[in-house]
Amino acid sequence: MTHLITLVGCALLMASLAMLRAADAPAKQPTNILFLITDQQTVSALSCAGNPHVKTPNLDRLAARGVRFEKSYCTYPLCCPSRGSLFTSRMPHELGIYDNADAELAGKGVPTMGELFRAAGYETAYAGKWHLKAAFPSFKSGRMPGFDVLPLAGRDPHKVDKDKEGKGLTVDPNTADAAIKFLRQPHQKPFLLVASVLNPHDICEYPECAALQKMLPDDPAKLPPARPNLRDADTLPSALRQFARRHADWTERQWCEYLWIYYRLVEIADAEVGRVLAAFDRAGLSSSTVVMFTADHGEMMGSHQMVTKQKLYEEAAAVPLIVAPPASKPAVDSQHFVSGLDILPTLLDYAGIAAPSSLEGRSLRPLVEGKAVPWREYVASECSSGGDARMIRTARYKYIAFASGEDREQFFDMEKDTGEMKNLIADSVLAGEVARHRGLLQQWLQDTKDTFGKELPPTKNKKDRAGGKKRSGEARKSKNNQ
């Protein structure tokens, strides 16, 4: 009996000591979040991605201490719809955001990134471009759901004369300054800081903008070559032909100049991001902060004789994504399909905040940590302002369907045809794969309650009818180059 009492006493003593040690141990440091965004940067516009025509040393260094995803896609290749997805993990059609005209998140009844982090006790701050509703709330309403809008010095970018100077060239240094000031300050709470620069979006103003024209080199030999998929041999869907015709008279030299300016704007954006990252490092935050970088959408760069966005080709739909948590193992993920829908769930996961069941995306944290987890078979994107269309991207193929017009389907072998030049939709050998991708699209439409056109496969010369609301860019003017 005495022996038993002694054992019980020892056990109680050890338990008490363990409790005391736990009480004395410092609480786990909450994870800060630094979320960096550029505007209109395609997935390949990074020197660490092997692009010899652009130098992005700051983003390269970030990639060297995190995981860079090569198969990363925006939900919609246009500013407002894509940004709506980044901050809610919902598809644009679920948010009712179909273009840039008066897009906003307020009143949607959907929890936003800022609201979720603030409710969990985070200090939430935003510097730079928002665009849901005002492009730069610092100069307009000064409000956005869940975030404190950091004041920006300098001129109102809404009032910049785009024929003379670039909006991004004007406002981005002030955005970086605001983010740097925030990082230098002491914080009593864990923080979520979003720093969103506008460039390389200024490419939308080329060639009218005088400031961009001044960037051209004196020696034409320095110009990069035009895109290898500049000119299509196959017939484009009728919804896209108008875009290719707009620049059909451009010379090879003009396409090369366009690319030169675009890459210089990417480098300017990289420099501003680099200033923020340098301040972040000087503040000693690297051991307690997850850094994430992405872009809202890409840029066509002259591929298929098209520029800017609103297309579901790789150049406009695929975007860079880097996730760099503390002490992460650097890697390049070229296998898993990730979406703009995954941004919010990933950041919530690192912050230890429960994700609402309404979110469409998944946390990328297991992939960043190198864990073998079941993953999605495909990624989907949509576009309504450049011809109502939907995209399904699987391991080898890409399927694009348009809701109206002629030649309404495209099917590409992404292993053999990375430039998406050969439409294989009528290839009898691939009939089974085409049917499978049509089925994947139908399942996606059903799962996300998408009212996209129901007439799949589309029938040429049949009277066009888009399912659900009529919302094509041709049916309504939109501010798609803000």
* Domain harbouring 143, CATH code: 3.40.720.10
Q: What is the pTM (predicted TM-score) of this model?
A: 0.89
* Domain harbouring 426, CATH code: 3.30.1120.10
- Whether residue 319 is found in the same domain as residue 395: no
What is the residue-wise DSSP string for 129-170? ---SSSS-GGGTT--BTTBEEPP--S--GGG--TTTS-HHHH
- Whether residue 311 is found in the same domain as residue 343: yes
In a domain, 482, yes or no: no
- Whether residue 304 is found in the same domain as residue 421: no
- Give residue 233's pLDDT: 82
- Whether residue 387 is found in the same domain as residue 354: no
Q: Angle at Cα 262 formed by Cα 261 and Cα 268, nearest 5°?
A: 90
- Give residue 179's pLDDT: 98
In a domain, 416, yes or no: yes
Distance set, CA 424 to CA 86, 253, 298 (Å): 32, 31, 24
In a domain, 6, yes or no: no
Q: Choose one of 368, 397, 419: the last residue of a domain.
A: 368
Beta strands 338-339 and 331-333, pairing class: unpaired
- Give residue 102's pLDDT: 74
* Domain interval for residue 61: 32-368
In a domain, 187, yes or no: yes
Number of domains in the chain: 2
In a domain, 344, yes or no: yes
- Whether residue 145 is found in the same domain as residue 240: yes
- Whether residue 432 is found in the same domain as residue 462: yes
Q: The tokens 């099917």 sit on which residue? A: 411
- Whether residue 384 is found in the same domain as residue 460: yes
Closest CA to 133 of 91, 171, 179, 95: 95
CA contacts within 13 A on the Cβ side of 123: 14
- Whether residue 324 is found in the same domain as residue 438: no
Contacts of 362 (CB under 8 A, 6+ apart): 341, 342, 345, 376
Average pLDDT along the chain, 482 residues, taken 10 residues at a time = 43 40 45 98 98 98 98 98 98 94 85 97 98 92 92 93 94 98 97 98 95 96 97 92 92 97 98 98 96 98 96 98 95 98 98 96 98 97 89 98 95 98 98 98 96 59 32 34 50
Contacts of 443 (CB under 8 A, 6+ apart): none
- Give residue 5's pLDDT: 41
- Whether residue 43 is found in the same domain as residue 132: yes
CA distance 191 to 362: 22
In a domain, 111, yes or no: yes
- Give residue 454's pLDDT: 61
- Whether residue 442 is found in the same domain as residue 321: no
Closest CA to 196 of 134, 285, 258, 118: 134
- Give residue 92's pLDDT: 96
- Whether residue 364 is found in the same domain as residue 410: no
- Whether residue 131 is found in the same domain as residue 219: yes
In a domain, 17, yes or no: no
Q: Choose one of 311, 346, 368: the last residue of a domain.
A: 368
